[in-house]
């Protein structure tokens, strides 16, 4: 079962258990929200299309977190005029977990639990540092072998042959 719902001015295809990134919502993390503007519902091949929305249908969701999207760079330039302008921003987003699609008079029976992942412990970072140190040590050993290799003696230079005197000095 899926639905097409309008959230914060955009349309999303949602199913139970989906995580969706939407424009920033005015709700705290962990809050339960409902979206009533359901445009289409497909229940196992039985499709209901709204005019403009399906009566009595709503989508229940839980706010997981508020975050920023990827950086967008806006660069403007006019040739041969010396005009360049750079600007950018990061969109404010909300991550939402879809709990279910509810019909007329239905309530949410069982909620989907979500757990935030804890940040990686610092011990792992120390292990990464040790790996880098071992990689740095390897080239030093190779350099020591090159230094220890016997150097070849340079061949003695032959003495240059004496130049013939110029004919002008003889005259």
Q: How confident is the model at residue 108 (pLDDT cuts 50, 70, 90)?
A: confident
pLDDT in tens, 149-169: 666 666 666 666 666 655 555
What's the mean per-residue pLDDT of the chain?
A: 82
State the average pLDDT over residues 9-13.
95
The answer to whether the CB of 113 falls within 8 A of the CB of 98 is no
User: b/e string for 132-160 if b means 16 or more Cβ within 10 A?
Assistant: eeeeeeeeeeeeeeeeeeeeeeeeeeeee
The ranges assigned to domains in the chain are: 2-77+84-106
The whole-number pLDDT of residue 10 equals 95
């Amino acid at each position: 079962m899926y639905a097409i719902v309008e959230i914060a001015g955009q349309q999303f295809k949602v199913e139970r258990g989906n995580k969706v990134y939407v424009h920033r919502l005015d709700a705290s993390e962990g809050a339960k929200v409902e979206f009533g503007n359901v445009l289409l519902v497909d229940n196992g091949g039985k499709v209901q299309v709204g005019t403009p929305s399906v009566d009595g249908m709503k989508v229940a969701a839980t706010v997981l977190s508020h975050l920023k999207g990827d950086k967008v760079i806006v660069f403007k330039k006019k040739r041969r005029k010396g005009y360049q302008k750079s600007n950018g921003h990061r969109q404010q987003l909300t991550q939402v977990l879809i709990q279910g699609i509810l019909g007329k008079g239905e309530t949410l029976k069982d909620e989907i639990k979500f757990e935030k992942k804890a940040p990686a412990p610092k011990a792992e970072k120390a292990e990464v540092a040790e790996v880098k140190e071992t990689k740095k040590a390897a080239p030093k050993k190779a350099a020591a072998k090159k230094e220890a290799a016997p150097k070849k003696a340079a061949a003695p230079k032959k003495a240059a042959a004496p130049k013939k005197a110029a004919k002008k000095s003889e005259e």
